[in-house]
Amino acid sequence: MWLAQDHDGVFRIGQCGDTLCGQLIGMQYDGPVPKDVWGRSQCGLVMLTDFRHIKDENVWRGHILDPETGRTYDARIWAESPDVLKLRGFILGIPLLGKTQTWTRYRGTIGPECKLP
């Protein structure tokens, strides 16, 4: 489990067939569970998809969904250390046109409906 850089979400990243994917399993929020652009609960939403290992590199390349706009972006993830994961989302297939976040391993609890303590 990985805590997003802004400490507002926790993702479970793991195998999905022959690729890696990541599901939102914890969120910071008040009121009802946040919904995506299509009105679905963000709790349990698969937002990281189709990550495949790039041969001869310690990098996985796939896609990340922005649930508020419905847009999908190219992305790369790599482990900087066992407890630090880097995620870079970018547009037009060009990593230079992107932003990198630092995620950290999460060992805390998650309440009902993906609520973070």
* pLDDT per residue as tens digits for the range 16-41: 999 999 999 999 999 999 999 999 99
What percentage of the chain has pLDDT greater than the value 70? 96
Which fold is adopted by the domain 2-114? Lipocalin (2.40.128)
What was the pLDDT predicted at 30? 93
What was the pLDDT predicted at 113? 93
What was the pLDDT predicted at 56? 82
Mind giving me the DSSP string for 29-53? -SSSPPB-TTS-BSTT-EEEEEEEE
The answer, yes or no, to whether residue 96 has pLDDT greater than 80, is no
Q: What is the mean pLDDT of residues 2-9?
A: 96
Please report, for the chain, the start and end positions of each structural domain, with discontinuous segments joined by +. 2-114
